[in-house]
A and B are shown apart, each in its own frame.
Chain A
Amino acid sequence: MKDKADVVIIGGGATGCGTAYNLAKKGVTDVVLLERNYLCYGATGRCGGGIRQQFTTEANIKLAMESVRLFEGLSQELGIDIEYDQGGYLIITYEDEVDQFRKNVELQNKMGLKSKFISPEEAREIVPLLNIEPIAGATFCQTDGHANPFRVVQGYARKAEEMGVEISKFTEVMGIETEDDQITAVETDRGTIRTDTVVNAAGAYSRNIAAMLGIDIPNKPYRHEILVTESVEHVLDPMIISFKTGIYFSQQKCGAIIGGIGDPEEPSSYNISGGLRFLKRMARTMMELVPAFGHLNVLRQWAGSYDVTPDAQPILGWTDGVEGLCQANGYSGHGFMIAPKVTELIAELIVDGKTSMPIDDLNLRRFEGEITGEAYVVG
């Protein structure tokens, strides 16, 4: 491992690897990426792979729309099939959600996103197996979709390495040194790297990295469970989600259904084991929407950590009080889907000192004032 670098990135998920790639693309190749485990060990490799633009805050809608534009060309750009599929997102809408969701669609439309409110019958045309009895309608956006997170990370990492970035897997950060509040080095269990710039892209563990510098970030880890079924013939185009029940599921290129459901009773912790309670809630909720899926065999279940902020929006940019510490965390369950644009912006911030899209509103310092946040957090 190198003992000196222009930038050290902590975290080998979509954000870390995407940042490495985008820095290299801008000519900054003296970069080391540190990952405590293998690439994708954390939330990226555990997520459902969904790519959604239907959000409720302008910042999230913009980041997601720009990311979709980048996802559309990513297989070609990275030279790997990321299994990108724009089957849309169908957001199940129950009676008491109709007014709010119509307003959300208005905001999305105002920002140029072609989402729409549709009737239960129209929803059934998109998903013939859908049980429309309990629903009042749906919102739908055709350009939403999903991709394979392993492939995306592999693509970013491989390209970054080709351009000269060093990726050091199975390497744990033990401490970060400063002098007069300026970062000077990162200590790992495999040696020290002198650097003045660190990107904190450690997902749910970002708060521990920040704490090494005495910085308190308000992120909390929450377990989210997920399962995959056997592969069957193609029967489901869009990702189906509901914010009321917290469920989401989609069919992958290989034919498997991948889906999860949030649990309002889940306490904040680093627990990532899978449980029977989840299987039961998932089976019941999924079968209410698509009864036929009760026949699908579950192959396995697992879990990952959401890195949740008080307003469910990411923390991006420089940190007041520590020169050289760039935050890129707090995605609250939608880090993978906005990683292409976020990592481009982080690279701009580091290399050019400014970003092509304003991200000041997402700086850590926003938590000093009153908080208004993203309402669409699934699972």
Chain B
Amino acid sequence: MTEIVCRCEDITKKEILEAIDEGYQTLEEIKRVLRCGMGPCQGRTCTPLIAGLLARKTGKSVAEIEIPTTRPPLQPLPLVIFAGDEE
């Protein structure tokens, strides 16, 4: 239960299961309540794992779990590279 699921934000399996029990039964909500998926990897590692936990807890199939909105940039990029050319 103390396994880390979200490595960027140090979120454990126990915390995720508790959030699901508290009524946060979508990935978007779990992300906002626990911050998992908000770190440098943007959920690449933890999203499938949390989707699995959510599916098991709610009796759904993993395919039925809605994946959070993917937001640009797709990988972390330094601000300076956007500052160069005009619009």
Contact = CB atoms under 8 A, between A and B. Distances in A.
A280 B82 CA distance: 5
Interface residues of B, number: 24
B70 to A, nearest CB: 9
A154 interface: yes
Contacts of B42: 299-300
A53 B81 CA distance: 35
A141 B32 CA distance: 30
Contacts of A296: 78-79
Contacts of B80: 283, 287, 294-295
A281 B78 contact: no
B59 interface: no
B26 A38 contact: yes
Given A279-B82, A280-B87, A300 B32 contact: no
A297 B32 contact: no
B73 A277 contact: no
A140 to B, nearest CB: 25
A119 B29 CA distance: 44
Given A38-B26, A277-B87, A287 B79 contact: yes
Nearest to A158: B22
B33 A150 contact: yes
Contact of B83 (A38, A287, A301): A287
Nearest to B40: A230
A298 interface: yes
A124 interface: no
Contacts of B28: 38, 41
A298 to B, nearest CB: 6
A270 interface: no
Interface in B37-63: 38-40, 42
Interface residues of A, number: 32
Given A38-B26, A150-B33, A284 B83 contact: yes
Contact of B32 (A40, A281, A284): A40
Contact of A294 (B26, B38, B71, B83): B83
Given A40-B32, A45-B32, A297 B71 contact: no
Contacts of A298: 73, 76-79, 82
A68 B63 CA distance: 44
Contacts of B72: 274, 279, 300-301
Contacts of B69: 302
Contact of A297 (B29, B78, B83, B85): B78
Contacts of A293: 79
Nearest to A154: B33
B73 A300 contact: yes
26 contacts: A38-B29, A38-B32, A40-B32, A45-B32, A229-B79, A230-B76, A276-B82, A279-B72, A280-B87, A281-B87, A282-B79, A282-B82, A283-B81, A283-B82, A294-B78, A294-B83, A297-B76, A297-B79, A298-B73, A298-B77, A299-B38, A299-B39, A299-B40, A300-B38, A300-B42, A300-B72
Given A294-B78, A302-B69, 5 more contacts: A276-B82, A279-B72, A284-B83, A298-B78, A298-B79
